[in-house]
Amino acid sequence: MISTTMPIYRRMKSCGVQNQGLNKRIISGVLEDELYAMQCEIMVDWPTLTIESIQARLKRFTTVRCILAEKVFLRSEGWKIDSQIEGRIKKELGRNGCRHMAALMIDCLRSLARSELANSLRCAMESTSDLDKAGFIEDFFKSYPDLKGIAKIR
């Protein structure tokens, strides 16, 4: 008998940002599906936007090259989060390690940018009831121009 139901494929991806004092952010990312299971943890110096440390861990992967990610991704320590970071991660880390881990790392950095914007906006709204939100967002990205590209906010 032929089944008419579609196969089920589930993917879970989660990114979170924690403040560690005034000058450190820890970004954690997890990707899990039937083929892949991986996580990364990135420590970023704020506001210099420099990657201080990264840990990449793989539990399930599809190629022998993927396991190289755990060492290859250490190359990103010392990198500045700027307008070139997404391409650099894909080219230098994804091609030499695991492209799925590279995509997870990019999502983590995107979460950092959005989290910082959201927290700054929330604080500003608490102190100014008639805040020009569009103007605030514009000013935020003038202060942190390198975050605008990675944040993917229009």
- Summarised one tens digit per residue, pLDDT across range 9-68 is 788 999 999 999 999 999 999 999 888 899 999 999 998 999 999 999 999 888 888 888
Name the band, by pLDDT with cuts 50, 70 and 90, for residue 89: very high
Looking at residue 2, its pLDDT comes to 65
Reported pTM? 0.89
Looking at residue 154, its pLDDT comes to 65
Looking at residue 153, its pLDDT comes to 75
H or E stretch including 100? helix 99-127
In our burial notation (b when 16+ CB lie closer than 10 A, e otherwise), range 96-116 reads: bbbbbbbbbbbbbbbbbbbbb
Please give the average per-residue pLDDT across 85-92, as a whole number.
Answer: 95
Looking at residue 61, its pLDDT comes to 87
Looking at residue 100, its pLDDT comes to 92
Percent over 90 (pLDDT), the chain:
71
Q: How many CA atoms lie within 13 A of 8 on its CB side?
A: 1
Looking at residue 3, its pLDDT comes to 65
Mean pLDDT score across all residues of the chain:
91
